[in-house]
Chains A and B, each alone.
Chain A
Amino acid sequence: MADIIKVGMADMNCVYPPNTLVTLGLGSCVGVCLYDRETKVSGMVHVMLPYSHQIKNNSNLAKFADTGISKLLNDMIVMGAKKSRIISKVAGGAQMFNFNDSSDIMRIGARNVQAVKETLKNLNIPLISEDTGGSYGRTIEFYSETGMLLVKTIGYGTKWI
């Protein structure tokens, strides 16, 4: 019987198969899923902000793309995953509100996605697929048995990536 493990905002979790990781209502935040294809150890982190060094209050590692992904990777290695086998899938990073004079702060979704991609690249983790950007929210479910990520939206359909 597979358990469904919820990952909240600025939160992370790792599971063994056949369990599923879920994040509800991703907006400008980014859901990063890491997956070891052999052991099927799966992890998900719900990133809110790009880089920890840009913010003073940075004790919560899961809040940032750089520290969140590194911590998740380490936790998965402790659970038996091997770094060389780990791949990634990414969803979220929407711009929920549109303004003509889009300031940096309003483009936070795009900045989060960029920071996630840079961090993955630095860690040499291949990005297999993504569903990012747009102006709508997403609920994501990551299935450790298959390594597939289900992306659900309101009014923009459902897809597997």
Chain B
Amino acid sequence: MAISINDLNSEQIDVLKEIGNIGAGNAITALSKMVSKRIDMNVPKVNIVEFKEVAELVGGPEKIVSGIYFNVSGDISGSIMFLMDNNSSRTLINWLMSKNETSMEFDEIEVSALKEIGNILAGSYLSSISTLTGLKMTVSIPSLAIDMAGAIMSVPVILFGQVGDHVLLIETDFIEGLNRVKGNFFLIPDEKSFEILLKSLGVI
């Protein structure tokens, strides 16, 4: 019997939260080094939400957001998605490229910078999971879409939707001075991998 996200007990949720925490910590360290700035974060919020609510959480289904998407393969397989609004994308690009832009249009180099940031963040999360579980996994090259939140969210929601009606969402705020980046991180192991993941964390 495969585990569904709806059936998680509080201990399992706590472990997943802790992964979110450590992953975000690693991601912040990597990001700080990359942009040579001191970046802080809030304690990540890990939520299990009904998929109907997800688009509302990021500002409504028609809000324009950036989604960076990765395939994961290895001992566990699935996908990872990093989602943020375009203000946050602009802030990240400005950090990385030492710019002071305000435009919400991104040129080719900026899009590529955004993908690279996504790469580093995803890599940090994955390596923390790897360290904790001993599972090996590799991540694909990133794919980026800038579009309506509802449309972008449909991808992880459909992937999750085959296992249940809820998604696992890790929200992390990155803060530097007055700038704040609100990142939404979706970890989407496929049906079998979810069980492997929980087993290797010793909570099943």
Contacts and interface: CB of A to CB of B under 8 A. Distances in A.
A114 interface: no
Interface stretch (A70-78, A80-88, A130-138): A130-138
Nearest to A24: B61
Interface in B61-102: 61-62, 64, 67, 69, 71
B147 interface: yes
A4 to B, nearest CB: 14
Interface residues of B, number: 33
B203 interface: no
Contacts of B64: 154
B154 A96 contact: yes
Contacts of A28: 151, 154-155, 158
B71 A99 contact: yes
Interface residues of chain B: helix, strand, loop or mixed (majority): mixed
Interface in A1-47: 8-11, 24-29
Given A27-B154, A28-B151, A139-B148, 12 more contacts: A10-B161, A11-B52, A24-B61, A24-B150, A26-B150, A27-B151, A28-B155, A49-B158, A63-B161, A94-B151, A137-B150, A154-B64
Interface of B: 2, 4, 51-52, 55, 60-62, 64, 67, 69, 71, 140, 143-145, 147-155, 157-159, 161-165
29 contacts: A9-B157, A10-B165, A25-B55, A25-B62, A25-B149, A25-B150, A25-B151, A25-B153, A25-B154, A26-B154, A27-B150, A29-B154, A48-B161, A49-B161, A56-B2, A57-B163, A60-B165, A63-B161, A94-B151, A96-B147, A97-B144, A97-B155, A99-B71, A103-B71, A108-B158, A136-B151, A137-B150, A139-B61, A154-B148
